[in-house]
Amino acid sequence: MNNLAVLPIIIPLVSGIILAFFPKKLNLVRPLSKIFMLINLVIAGYLLWTVFSEGSVILETGGWKAPYGIVLVADKLATLLVFTTNIIAAACALYAPYSLSDRKEQYYFYSFFFFLITGVSGAFLTGDLFNMFVFFEVLLMASYALIVLGGDKVQLRESIKYVFINLFSSMLFVTAVAFIYGALGTVNIAQIAERVQEVDQQGILTTVGILLFFVFAVKAALFPLYYWMPNSYAVPNPVISALFGALLTKVGIYSIIRVFSLIFVHKIEVTHGMFIWIAGLSMIFGIIGAISTNNIKLIIAYNIIPAIGFILMGIGVFNQSSVSGSIYYLVHDMLIKGSLFMLAGTIAYAAGTSDLRKFSGLIHYYPFIGWLLFSSGFILAGIPPFSGFIGKLLLLKGALANKDIAIVIIGLLSSLLILYSIMKIFINGFWGEKDETIKPVSLKGRIAPIVMLLALSVFMGIGAEFIYPFVESISTDLIQPEVYIDAVLKE
Amino acid sequence: MYKPNDLILRTTTSLIAFILLGFSIYLLLAGHNAPGGGFIGGLMTSAAIVLMYMAYGSAVLEKVLPINYRLLIPTGLLIAVGTGLASFIFGEAFLSHTYGYFHVPVFGELELATAMLFDFGVYFTVLGVTISIILSIANDH
């Protein structure tokens, strides 16, 4: 049934609404949120299975035909990302009760959590540019509420910046949509693509495309527009940082993938050539940030920027191998960033501070956490048996095929420095003499979700032969825009 | 000692508030064929309630209108989402709406559409959000 495509959006929305009726009854809210999350995970998995076995699921809401009504397009890329989103959200739902104080949970945390999932799933599934804007706002509104939850002084300071920059980029988004509607007379993504193709992307269209790129680049924290991101992702509670780090910037890069593999693909030397430069600069500046700080949460937050750079590089090069690499890296990075933020939160809780200069020798008390961090550093940097390796290998192979040697060198060097930035936490925080002043605290319940996400990452690396054919079929669809257009418009 | 006497404000409020409430319900119901709808109807109702708060104070109003406005938000959302979900039962696409002609006593033949129910959801949500915002700022000493 076609209505399947709307369920990953509607289930979290209804769950969030139901939980808003009794936010103070925590012993009811906690199990209910886990049950709702499980239902949503199962439905998203079923949708993924349906799409890969029978092709895209298209829902024309309200029964209106494609270019006139709102369509929801569950194609292979979108459903894969919705499924990954739900895995991360499930891990966060397990982690939340241990990480948040009761008071914070009572202030509608679970409602906002579910509204965030609604927005993210909606942004992945929509087939309409203006609806994409609406779902962006849904997820941003929820994230505004989550970032100030608790109301510390630093949170208030960082949230002001976060709200202002996002309001500004949302305003630009509306302007860009208005330009597109003025030039092409439609906001349906498939029809926009068709009309841009008809006029061969003449005139103002490339400019509008680049404007749209800058809107998404603000959301995705790419090179010139990333300065708002690291601090505002480091100050909230670890579980909220994990949600933000794993999901929000990825929605921005997903929109870039969607728009620049489907609509603006006729002037590749202008747009995609620029992406390679921006990708390279993002890697350099992101990694400089990551190795320059001693705050473990900030190190993880800065590591988002080079990862987004890697994904953008795949779009910039734009051949089969590099686009597969981007998708592989995107899913890998969602999983590993989710677990790394939770891990950093756990370490900061165990050590009592997030400043690396103030603690050492944690390995004597928490050997398991130490080795988790060690292996996640390997996964993130892309050491061969793990998942980061496959994505980077495909990306670099694609770039070499296009003779973009400079970006390959930058990519390899920044991978080395990514490894260094994580190992710095391990060396300074975990090695060293046994510190007798540390009083071990119980980390009950915090470990399981981290292990779950890391195990999936490891599986993505070791089971690459199982996963790669799916990723390859996604990228085959992506570099042929006709597949998407035909699926939506000519059923 | 100076004691404010707002007799004129209170007398006119009791008159104006009811005109506002009536007009807001008219706007809510007229939305299908004329300017209006759930959003502006909800705003107008909350304007009437805020006017009463200004004239009579919160102690009186909490006795007259004992409503938890914060609960109105999820209620309205649930109504709006529910109208979308109801189309699942009939095997139609999400958010499909339908209409029919009914004979209602006093009014006679009427066209009733399920889109109206969605508007009621919007109405309650807007009312709940507006009053919650105003009251939580006003009660913040």
**Residue A419 has what pLDDT?**
92
Instruction: Output B68-72 pairs: Cβ under 8 A, ≥24 positions apart.
Output: B69/B127, B69/B128, B69/B131, B69/B132, B69/B135, B70/B128, B70/B132, B71/A21, B71/B128, B72/B124, B72/B125, B72/B127, B72/B128, B72/B131
Place of tokens 């605290």: A441
**Residue A9 has what pLDDT?**
94
Residues A459, A84 contacting (CB under 8 angstroms): no
Q: What is the number of alpha carbons within 13 Å of residue A370 lying toward its C-beta?
A: 16
Residue of B94, B98, B99 to mutate for A, most A C-beta atoms under 10 A = B94
- Amino acid letter, residue A453: L
B81: contact with A, CB 8 A cutoff: yes
Q: A358: distance to nearest CA of chain B, Å?
A: 40
**CA-closest candidate to residue A311, choices A262, A267, A270, A255:** A255
Cα B134 from chain centroid (whole Å): 15
Residues A15, A113 contacting (CB under 8 angstroms): no
Distance (Å, rounded) from C-alpha B129 to C-alpha B50? 13
Contacts for A170 with CB less than 8 Å, ≥ 6 apart: A133, A136, A137, A140
Tokens matching residue A162: 């976060």
pLDDT band at B96 (very low <50, low <70, confident <90, very high): confident
Contacts for A315 with CB less than 8 Å, ≥ 6 apart: A256, A257, A260, A261, A272, A275, A322, A323, A326
pLDDT 10s digits, A209-222: 999 999 999 999 99
Looking at the predicted structure, is the pLDDT value of residue A226 above 80?
yes
pLDDT band at B1 (very low <50, low <70, confident <90, very high): low
Looking at the predicted structure, is the pLDDT value of residue A361 above 90?
no
Note the pTM of the prediction, 2 decimals.
0.94
Cβ neighbours, 10 Å, residue A31: 10
Asked if A3 lies within 8 A of B94 by C-beta distance, the reply is yes
Q: A177: distance to nearest CA of chain B, Å?
A: 24
Q: Which domain holds residue B14?
A: 6-139
- The partner residue sitting opposite A13, judged by closest CB among B81, B88, B95, is B81
Asked if B93 lies within 8 A of A63 by C-beta distance, the reply is yes
pLDDT 10s digits, A88-107: 999 999 999 988 888 888 88
Residues of chain B found within 8 Å of residue A61, distances taken between Cβ atoms: 93-96
- Amino acid letter, residue A137: E
- The partner residue sitting opposite A17, judged by closest CB among B77, B84, B88, is B77
Residues A475, A327 contacting (CB under 8 angstroms): yes
Query: How many percent of chain A have pLDDT more than 90?
Result: 63
In-domain check, residue B1: no
Cα B94 from chain centroid (whole Å): 25
ipTM summary value: 0.91
pLDDT band at A309 (very low <50, low <70, confident <90, very high): very high
Distance (Å, rounded) from C-alpha A308 to C-alpha A414? 13
Residues B35-55 as b/e (b if ≥16 CB within 10 A, e otherwise) read ebbbbbbbbbbbbbbbbbbeb
**CA-closest candidate to residue A284, choices A412, A427, A397:** A412
Asked if A3 lies within 8 A of B93 by C-beta distance, the reply is yes
Overall average pLDDT of the A262-285 stretch? 91
**Residue B4 has what pLDDT?**
76
DSSP A146-157: HHHTT--HHHHH
Report chain A's mean pLDDT, rounded to a whole number: 91
Distance (Å, rounded) from C-alpha A433 to C-alpha A439? 15
Distance (Å, rounded) from C-alpha A300 to C-alpha A249? 14
Identify the closest residue of chain B to A2 by CA–CA distance.
B93
In-domain check, residue B116: yes
pLDDT 10s digits, A392-424: 999 999 999 988 888 999 999 999 999 999 999
**Residue B76 has what pLDDT?**
94
Residues of chain A found within 8 Å of residue B71, distances taken between Cβ atoms: 21
Asked if B93 lies within 8 A of A60 by C-beta distance, the reply is yes
In-domain check, residue B47: yes
Look at chain B and report how many structural domains it folds into.
1
Task: From residue A401, give the alpha-carbon distance in Å to each of A369, A414, B27.
Answer: 40, 20, 64
- Amino acid letter, residue A253: I
pLDDT 10s digits, A51-62: 999 888 888 888
Pairing mode, if any, of strands B108-113 and B99-104?
Answer: antiparallel
- A465 by Cβ neighbours in 10 Å (0-12 / 13-18 / 19+) ranks as exposed
Distance (Å, rounded) from C-alpha A239 to C-alpha A275? 32
Classify residue A23 by its DSSP letter.
Answer: T
Residues of chain B found within 8 Å of residue A112, distances taken between Cβ atoms: none
- B105 by Cβ neighbours in 10 Å (0-12 / 13-18 / 19+) ranks as exposed
Overall average pLDDT of the A435-463 stretch? 86
Asked if A62 lies within 8 A of B73 by C-beta distance, the reply is no
Asked if B95 lies within 8 A of A62 by C-beta distance, the reply is yes
What DSSP element (H or E) covers A459?
helix A447-462
**Residue A491 has what pLDDT?**
57
Asked if A17 lies within 8 A of B84 by C-beta distance, the reply is no
Q: What are phi and psi of A203, to 5 degrees?
A: 60, -130
> Which residues are bridge partners to B110 per DSSP?
B102
Cβ neighbours, 10 Å, residue B19: 10
Helices A205-220 and A153-184 meet at what angle, rounded to 10? Answer: 160
Distance (Å, rounded) from C-alpha A335 to C-alpha A318? 24
Contacts for A25 with CB less than 8 Å, ≥ 6 apart: none
Q: Could you tell me where the DSSP H helices lie in A383-441?
A: 387-401, 405-425
Asked if A61 lies within 8 A of B94 by C-beta distance, the reply is yes
Overall average pLDDT of the A356-365 stretch? 86
Tokens matching residue A489: 């418009």
